[in-house]
Chains A and B, each alone.
Chain A
Amino acid sequence: DVQLVESGGGLVQPGGSLRLTCAASGFSLSSYAMNWVRQAPGKGLEWVSGISGTVGATYYAASVKGRFAISRDSSKNTLYLQMDSLRAEDTAIYYCAKSDAIVLVDKRNNWFDFWGQGTLVTVSS
């Protein structure tokens, strides 16, 4: 069975850093596009970042570009999100989500078929 388990969330001051981890099981991370999607308290969903399977090309929402970095360790079957220069508006539950597609490009089957339970990131002084 596919499972995604996030960890690494917590309370951090504005300007601080945090690294989120998503441990995957039941499939190979590098065979699919993987994503981070966040949800601010009581709000909707926002796609934050993604990484294509195989080649590993990375993509970011404009709101986090230059501050966040997505990566993966295929040997550990684990996805990461390094978050730097955090702001209050980054406060959210961060979900790891698997795409049905291999690559994260236009006109592919990039719906999210499996989600983790999420990890809460709170940016506050």
Chain B
Amino acid sequence: SQTIHQWPATLVQPVGSPLSLECTVEGTSNPNLYWYRQAAGRGLQLLFYSVGIGQISSEVPQNLSASRPQDRQFILSSKKLLLSDSGFYLCAWTQVGGSPLHFGNGTRLTVT
């Protein structure tokens, strides 16, 4: 069966510091990968998605970037965090050809 791993579970970072969140999927190949964010009291917003290695689509302008160095690895990064980057970050995947989106357990990021 397929599983998705996301770490760390919680992170507290000062303003201006870098960020790297990692996500890996097991039990499938060539998945579509996604980064979503849930800000406090809001719904989930799509940040980035990737349909293959090195292929990244950005959905909203922001202080973040994403990379996909391997088929089942997806990384969310920032060079300098802002207070507004605080939120709950979720990695997710689907099978190519259509399937429901499946989420990891998320990372709670607090920028202080």
Bound together:
no
Q: Which residues of A contact B (CB under 8 A)?
A: none
Q: Which residues of B contact A (CB under 8 A)?
A: none
